[in-house]
Amino acid sequence: MDIGDKAAFISGYTRILTQAWSSEEFSQRLESDPRAVLAENGLVTAPGTRVEIIRSRDADPDLDTQVHLWDNGRLTGRYVLYVPHIPQVDTRELDDDELGDLAGGVSGYCCTPCCCQSV
């Protein structure tokens, strides 16, 4: 898959994910007529191939794996697309270093010089 095809796939896949997570009607259409829904979002499959939509959250691949699986569909005739029912959110607690990274590595005062510092 060249870079243009990869970008087009990621764009279409992202649209499908966000619509599936925000619209029950879209999710139902995706499951009942995946080939048409995919084509509407720029993911056209070859005639005579199989399309498998996997909704299980347990089997989510990372984006690179999903790109590879989709590209492999051109060779095998079996397109696989992971579209979990809800997005997986990492709910673990952050350690001090990770919190510092979120703050941009800034600690102490909110600005320099800060009006809240006494002179």
Q: Distance between CA atoms of 37 and 26, rounded to whole angstroms?
A: 8
pLDDT tens for each residue of 28-71:
999 999 999 999 999 999 889 999 999 887 765 789 999 999 99
Element (H, E) at 85: none
Structurally, the chain folds into a number of domains equal to: 1
Is 57 inside a domain boundary? yes
**Cα–Cα distances in angstroms (integers) from residue 37 to residues 8, 10, 87, 116, in the given order:** 15, 15, 19, 56
34 in any annotated domain: yes
Within-domain flag for 48: yes
Domain interval for residue 43? 3-82
pLDDT 10s digits, 90-117: 556 667 776 666 655 554 555 555 555 5
Does the pTM exceed 0.75?
Answer: no
Residues 118 and 62: their CA atoms lie apart, in Å, by 50
Is 15 part of a structural domain of the chain? yes
Residue 99 lies in a domain: no
Per-residue tokens: 16: 């499908």
